Structure formats: structure tokens, C-alpha cells
Amino acid sequence: MFSLLWVDDDILFLSLVIAETKMWAHIQVKTVLNEEEAEKILGKNRIDMVISEYLLPEKSGIDLLRHIRSRHGDLPFLILTGYGNEDIAIEASRYGVTGYFRKTGDIVAQLNEIYGIVRIEMVRKEKRESHKLQELPSRSILNIQQSFLLRINMNMVVLFCNPVLLATIHISSKDIVGENFLNYIIKSDRGPFVDAIMKLSSESPNISFKFRLFPADNKTQKIWTEWIWTAFFDNDGSCNFIQGIGIDLEKNREPTSREEQYFTNLEFLSRTAMKLLDIEDQQTLYQFIGDTILEIVPDSYITVGAIDKKNHTLILKTVVCSEDILPIVRKELGSNITGYAYPLSLDPSAEVVFLKKGPVRAPSLYYLLFHMVPEEKCKRIEEMLSLGDSYILGFSSQGEAFGHVAITLKKGHELENRELLEAFVSQASVACLRLHTLQELIESEERYKAVVESQTDVILRFRPDGTHIFANDAFFTYFDITPEELAERTIIPFIFNEDFELLKKHLTKLTASDPISTIEIRLILNDGSIRWQQLNIRAIFTPDGELIEYQAVGRDITQRKCAEDELVKLYAELEEKVKERTRELSAVNNDLSMYTYSVTHDLRAPLRAIDGFTAIFLEKYTKDLPSESIRLLEIIRKNVAKMNQLIDSLFFLSKSTHHILQKDMIHIEQLVREVLEELLIDNKKRDIITIIGPIPNGYADKVLIRQVFVNLFSNALKFTRSKPQTIIEMGFGPSSGELAYFIRDNGIGFDMNYADRIFKLFERVHFGNEYEGSGVGLAIVKQIIDRHGGKIWAESSPGKGSVFYFTLGPEKTLDPVI
């Protein structure tokens, strides 16, 4: 399991990270909010990689990187920040971060890119762990005493040499690595040495051999050495390297009994190391451990236990003892003692003991059997079998305990050959770590497969040549194909012919730096039908940049594509209908314009005649007419003038409707002053105060907006006529929750119950002859404001004046001009 620590104080972002990374196979993601929580996790857990936000509550991500590497080694470290800039990127590069990313809006795509980097670090870790598993058995042997350690290839070229051998032959590592080891062997011993090495095979990988070396600076001196050589082979039988472990025998001296025992132990450990590497299941491993320890410590009673991390228990895996002890043990304890689970919570010190190096004395058999057998029976067994001292050795590696072996000796016996026992337990610990890691990978793979198989989306992995690596159940159901049929086909037959080149070009664009993309293509099902799929494709590369495979997740979008096609057709039909209706409306508008012009022209002629003849009649015959006749003729003329005004208003209403808008930024305050100046000429005898506040410029059609001000100010002047002093104010401010232009007066006002009528054509709220008007002016104002995309409304109260508000649409105005 690859362990990843993610540090970010953005809780929302971390929740998205947790949701997305659940699908990351073989990766355990731990999230924290700050540096203090990160240090706690690092202190209690083995972390393989760290991802951090740059801006953290108390220190920067770079400070955290320096702190982590000073205490926990050179961990891969990735900076992911929402506040990045060039300086941060340069700083991150200077401190050697694995990667630097700025957070983007597409979090899923970015996490997919990060996942690719994490997978690369996983591959690197697996290579390091594999290398360690091969080295550790031999290193455990070296713990027995100071020895030579040399690694060569089949051509005798030195790959590695430890300091003990370097000091013995007076040479540095840089001078011997890459050189032929035969150059340091006495000539007469070279031939036998080469012959012995060449006999090594995967069936017989070990050999013991004595030969003489000479120092690099004194070829006349002879150093007698004795070695155990072990060849390490690949699955195909090719030799990776040959490793030798040796000692200095001193010139022409026969080996002592301790040295003889040492080499016997070396041979024993070389044999057990190879066997441990071949074991693939835990029960076989624990049985082999028990049998081997009984071989090291004969006439003893041995139990082997394994820790169940999930249930926090210690499970008794096997019991091993000599033949004379076994019948009594079975009789007293029965054969079902193995498999018993002992809760570790009952003895918190147990795991601490298992982490210690070397044997730890245990109190009694009752303790070793987890208190599951009555103490009286344990004492009886100890008496019957004449059992004495007990010892515990734990299986642990990299700070993690996996189990233990308990050894009970016969009375009067001592625990002999401790060096070999400890060395073998060290080997067994590495084997436990290897199987534990393998089991975690298997379980993680099963969980990953369960998640993948439960997906309704099609999931496929395939090589660059198109051959399949994996497909989930949804794939087989979707294409109605069996795994056997799929094995005989590449991905090519599934792709619609016209889309094959498109997919091919798409895949060739993927690189190690940009490995993810999405494409929509058509696929051919087994029954010949064609379906649309949206494929999210990721290219997988090795650390060296070599393309390994593609991973694709597909979702059927046929229904969406059909809907899009229908929508395109609908839009086309709608557009044609709009064009047709536009042509019809344009024709109607043209007819209406001609009608309006004709009406206004034809009506004006008789009105001019009536007004003209009436004026002539009055001019010639006023002296001869009675006063009532003159009054009636004046009424005729006034109504003719009113009719002319109505025709002009209708004509302007029609003109404003068809006028093509030519919007521009208008200096509103200047325009207002011009309009008021013109209107006040006819009102010189009145006491009129005008107030013009700071007004922002507006985006409008100058001709039409001028008419708005003419009509609104004309109304204000008309309905303030009865006031001794007229006050008219123009400004800009808030109303009904938005900013608007306004014109306020202190006139007669109106009842707000009639507010919905004032902007309608020919509607009036003031009747009689006191206030002239056609009922068209405010309708024209509303028509113009509507065409600008704005709004107009009024607020008033009888006798208290009126306020008219309007906006000019969504366009922003300029700053107020003061």
C-alpha cells in the first residue's frame, strides 16, 4: 500500500480530494489541515509521499518540505496551490519538489494528472522495496560479525564492495567498482574460483570457497579468505548478480571452531533465505518458521503467532515441538489450539516486546499460551515435560510488528546459537513484511476490482497496439461479448470506420506531461448497431517516458447526441419560421408606416383648411358677428390646434417605434440643460426653480432620449402651473432597489390607484380644460424607454407632486459628471 499525506487548510477542497481519491488503486490518502497534524501523522505512520498547499496557516509549504526532509528523509513532495506565482515556482524548484501545480477550476482533471505522478512514485517505491527484499537476507547474516560483502556479475566485474573488504585490500570504492575482481586474486587461485562460480545455477545457487587475495599496494602479500557465494536468478533463469560473504582467515591458518560455526550458519541462512523467498502464503510461512527454529533449538516447545491488524488480535498459527513432547502436548491441549485469537488489548506490552531485537525472557507457559489454557494445566505440562526457561522473539520490520515466536526449553538447557536464531528471525521478519505487503496489494486490488466491476460505465485498459489488458463487466454487457471473444480481438473492430483516424490522432497527442483527454466517438456493438460514447482516456507512461498502456472510461451519450441532432433540426426550423415571420412583420410595418403617413398627411389638409377659413372668416366679419358666434369660432380653432397636436404625437409615436436605435454615450446633464432652456423660454413670467444634481452619462439614442426629457419636463411644467413657485429637480439615485434617473416636481400629483393608466395611449388622470394634453406623451416616453431595455415608473400623491424614475437598460453608465 502506497501511503500519501495531503496537507491543505481548505476543508471544501480536501472533501473533493477524499471523494475523488477513493478510486485510486493501492493508495491510502491521509488528509490534514495544518503542519501540526501533519507532524503527528508522520510520527506515527510510514508516509511515502506528501502533497501540500503552499500557503498554510503557520508556515509555507516550502518550510514544511524542509522540516519533513530534515526529520523523515527525502520524501517525494508535491506543491499544489491556489495562490501560485513565478516566485513560488522558482522557490519550489530550488528546493527540489517533485511537482508544482496551481489549482484550476477543473479539479477532477487536475487530480487525474496528480494521480499519474503518484503512480510513478509507486513504481519507484516498488523497485526499491524489491531490491531491499533481495538484500535483507544477506544483510541479516552480516549482523553476526564483521565480514566481507562483495557483489559481482557473471563477468566478474565488481558491482559493490563493503568497507571491511576495501580496508583489507587497501583500495577505495571508486577504484574497485567497475573493475574485474580477478585482478585482486592470486593468479593460481583465479582459475578454480572462476570454475566454481560458473557452476552456480538456480537449482544450486550457493557454494563455499577459499582463495587468497592481495592488497592493491602490495602484490606479494597473501590474505587467506573463505567465502559463501550466492547467485540470484530471474524467473527466466538469467543471473542478475552473484553475492559473496567472506572472512579473513589470516595467512595459512586453519579456521577456528567459531569460524567453522560461522560458515555453517552462513550456509544455513543462505538455504533458508532462498526458501523464504519462495513461500507465497502465510500459513506455510509460519509453519516453515516453526520447523526451522526447532531445527536451530532442538528439544524445545515452540509456538508461532501472527498479528491480525484489523481485529487487533494475536492468532496462534502453529505449534511445533520434538517427537517426545508432541504426544503429551496433544493429549493435554488437544489439536484445536491453533487458530486461537488473543485480544492484544489484554496485554498492551505485547507489541512493544515484538518490536525488540533479540530474545526476551517470558514468565511461563501460561503466559505463552495467551492465558487460554488453565494455569494449573500449564504447570502440570511444564512438570510432565520438564520445561524450563521461555523466550519470545518478535517478527518486525520498518517499525511494524507482524507476530512472534515463543520458545520453551527443557529444564537445565540454555538458549544456544543465539546469533543464528536472531539472524533467522530477522530473515523471517523480512518474509513477513513481504507477504504482508503482498496481501495488502491483493486486498487493495480486490477492492479496486470490486469498485470497477460495480461501475455502470464501460472501463477498458489496452496496450498501444490495441490489444486488451482488462475490461469490466459493464464492457462485456454493453458490447454483448464474452471475455474469450474479447481476447481474440483488438480495440480496432469496435470503432466506427469514420472515427478511427480521429481516435488515432487523439491518442498520439497524449504525452507524459499531458496524459489525459476526452473524446466523443462512435462504437460498433456486437449486433452491428452504432452507439455514441464519451471516452475519458489516460495514457500511462514509465518514469523513463515509455508508453505502457491506455485506460479508458466510457459513457453512452447516444441519447444526448440524438437530442442534439433533433435540437439542431428544431433550431433550423425555428430560424426559418422566424425569418418568415420577420418578413411578414416587416411588410406589415411598412404598410403601417405608409398608413400612418397617409393618415397624418390626409388629416392635416382638411384641418389646415378649417383653421385657415375660420381665421379668414373672423378677420373679415368679426365686427358684424355677435359675441357668441365669435366664441364658437374660437372653440373651433382651439380644437383644430388640439387635433393637430394629437396628429403630431401619433406621428412621433409611430416614428419612435420604427426609428433605428443608434446608441452612444450621451452627456445626460448637458442634454437636460438644453431641453430646459428651450422649454423655459415660453414660461418666463413664472417663478421656476430648477435643480440639476450630479448625473452620470448614459448609453442611449440621442434623438429619442431627448424626446423623453422634452415630454417629462413639459408635463412637470404643465402640472405645476397652479403653484406660486415651481420646483423641478433632475437627479440620479436609488429607488425600488436599483439606481435610476429621476425627475421630481411639486405639482398637483395624482392618485397612485391610477398609476397603471398614465403610460397607456390616450389615458389621462386629469380631465377638463385646465390641463391640455392628448394622452400620448407618456406613452411615447414608455415606448422609448422600453426600446432601450430600461424601465419607467412613477411615485405621486395628490397635491404633493410627482416623481418619474427611469433606467436605460443593463449597460453600465459612466461616473457622475459634476
pLDDT tens digits, one per residue of 611-640: 788 888 888 888 888 888 888 888 887 777
Residue from 296, 403, 315, 289 nearest 353 by CA: 403
Which residue spans within 411-543 are E strands per DSSP? 458-462, 468-471, 516-524, 530-541
User: Does the structure show a pLDDT above 60 at 141?
Assistant: no
pLDDT digits 0-9 by tens, 372-398: 778 888 888 888 888 888 899 999 887
At a CB cut-off of 8 Å and minimum separation 6, what does 259 contact? Answer: 226, 247, 249
Ranges of H-type helices in 98-158: 107-142
Highest mean pLDDT (candidates 116-120, 305-309, 771-775): 305-309
- Which 8-state DSSP code applies to residue 467? B
User: Does the structure show a pLDDT above 50 at 29?
Assistant: yes
Length of the chain: 818
Q: 200 in helix, strand or coil?
A: coil
pLDDT digits 0-9 by tens, 670-704: 999 999 998 888 888 889 999 998 899 999 988 88
User: Does the structure show a pLDDT above 70 at 653?
Assistant: no
Q: How far is 2 from 122, CA to CA, in rounded Å?
A: 7
What angle, rounded to 10 degrees, do the helices at 257-278 and 282-296 form? 170
Q: What DSSP element (H or E) covers 224? A: strand 223-233
Chain center to CA of 406: 48
Phi-psi region of 312 (alpha: psi -120 to 50; beta: other; left: phi over 0): left
Q: How far is 79 from 99, CA to CA, in rounded Å?
A: 6
Q: How far is 422 from 399, CA to CA, in rounded Å?
A: 17
- Residues of the chain with pLDDT > 70, as a percent, come to 85
Chain center to CA of 460: 21
Q: In this structure, are residues 14 and 31 in contact, taking their beta carbons and an 8 Å threshold?
A: yes
CA-to-CA separations, 210 to 179, 228, 249, 252, 253, in angstroms, rounded: 21, 9, 9, 11, 12
Of 437 and 229, the structure prediction assigns the larger pLDDT to: 229
Q: In this structure, are residues 697 and 817 in contact, taking their beta carbons and an 8 Å threshold?
A: yes
pLDDT digits 0-9 by tens, 30-45: 998 888 888 888 888 8
SS3 for 37-51, per residue?
HHHHHHHHCCCCEEE
Q: How far is 416 from 60, CA to CA, in rounded Å?
A: 56
Q: What DSSP element (H or E) covers 202? A: none
Mean pLDDT across the stretch 302-316? 88
Q: How far is 527 from 513, CA to CA, in rounded Å?
A: 39
Q: How far is 617 from 40, CA to CA, in rounded Å?
A: 111
Residue from 342, 349, 346 nearest 401 by CA: 349
Chain center to CA of 206: 51
pLDDT band at residue 252 under the 50/70/90 scheme: very low
SS3 content of the chain, % helix, strand, coil (to 5): 45, 25, 30
The residue type at 739: L
Residue 60 bridge partners (DSSP): 55
User: Does the structure show a pLDDT above 80 at 658?
Assistant: no
Query: How, if at all, do strands 2-7 and 49-52 pair?
Result: parallel
Q: How far is 150 from 185, CA to CA, in rounded Å?
A: 13
Of 247 and 100, the structure prediction assigns the larger pLDDT to: 247
Query: How, if at all, do strands 148-152 and 239-248 pair?
Result: antiparallel
Count of other CB atoms within 10 angstroms of residue 70: 8
795 burial (CB, 10 Å; 0-12 / 13-18 / 19+) is middle
Q: How far is 467 from 644, CA to CA, in rounded Å?
A: 89
Q: How far is 17 from 498, CA to CA, in rounded Å?
A: 38
Q: For the chain, what is the radius of gyration of the CA atoms? A: 49
Angle at 136 between CA 133 and CA 142, to 5 degrees: 165
Q: How far is 272 from 425, CA to CA, in rounded Å?
A: 11
Q: What DSSP element (H or E) covers 817? A: strand 816-817
Q: Which three cell numbers stand for residue 754?
A: 391610477
Residue from 476, 397, 409 nearest 433 by CA: 397
Determine the pLDDT at residue 619: 81
pLDDT band at residue 813 under the 50/70/90 scheme: very low
Q: Which three cell numbers stand for residue 750?
A: 395624482
Q: In this structure, are residues 438 and 339 in contact, taking their beta carbons and an 8 Å threshold?
A: no
Q: How far is 148 from 625, CA to CA, in rounded Å?
A: 148
Determine the pLDDT at residue 817: 43
DSSP state letters, 55-94 = B-SSSBHHHHHHHHHHHH-S--EEEEESS--HHHHHHHHH
Residue from 349, 376, 371, 345 nearest 360 by CA: 349
Q: In this structure, are residues 365 and 335 in contact, taking their beta carbons and an 8 Å threshold?
A: no
pLDDT band at residue 445 under the 50/70/90 scheme: low
The most distant pair of C-alpha atoms in the chain lies apart, rounded to whole Å, by 169
Phi and psi (nearest 5°) for 690? -110, 135
Chain center to CA of 2: 17
Q: 762 in helix, strand or coil?
A: coil
The residue type at 230: T
Q: 637 in helix, strand or coil?
A: helix
Q: How far is 529 from 522, CA to CA, in rounded Å?
A: 10
pLDDT digits 0-9 by tens, 77-120: 888 877 666 667 666 666 667 777 777 767 777 787 788 788 77
In the chain, count H helices and then E strands: 23, 30
Residue 7 bridge partners (DSSP): 32, 52
User: Does the structure show a pLDDT above 60 at 1?
Assistant: yes
Highest mean pLDDT (candidates 297-311, 334-348, 573-587): 297-311
Ranges of H-type helices in 688-737: 702-718
- Look up the pTM and report it: 0.39
Q: How far is 395 from 585, CA to CA, in rounded Å?
A: 92
pLDDT band at residue 769 under the 50/70/90 scheme: low
Which residue spans within 234-312 are E strands per DSSP? 239-248, 300-308
pLDDT digits 0-9 by tens, 260-281: 777 778 778 878 887 887 888 8
Count of other CB atoms within 10 angstroms of residue 772: 12
User: Does the structure show a pLDDT above 50 at 136?
Assistant: no
Q: How far is 43 from 27, CA to CA, in rounded Å?
A: 19
Of 134 and 234, the structure prediction assigns the larger pLDDT to: 234
Q: In this structure, are residues 430 and 391 in contact, taking their beta carbons and an 8 Å threshold?
A: no
Q: How far is 501 from 499, CA to CA, in rounded Å?
A: 6
pLDDT digits 0-9 by tens, 488-524: 778 777 888 888 888 888 898 999 889 998 999 999 9
Mean pLDDT across the stretch 45-73? 80
Q: How far is 212 from 206, CA to CA, in rounded Å?
A: 20
Checking 376-383 for CB contacts under 8 A at 24+ apart, the result is 377/332, 380/332, 381/328, 381/329, 381/332, 381/333
Q: In this structure, are residues 673 and 611 in contact, taking their beta carbons and an 8 Å threshold?
A: no
Count of other CB atoms within 10 angstroms of residue 136: 19
Q: In this structure, are residues 29 and 53 in contact, taking their beta carbons and an 8 Å threshold?
A: no
Determine the pLDDT at residue 111: 80
Q: How far is 531 from 561, CA to CA, in rounded Å?
A: 10
At a CB cut-off of 8 Å and minimum separation 6, what does 518 contact? Answer: 534, 535, 536, 537
Tell me the pLDDT of the chain averaged across its residues.
Answer: 81
Angle at 91 between CA 88 and CA 97, to 5 degrees: 100
Residue from 666, 793, 782, 669 nearest 731 by CA: 669
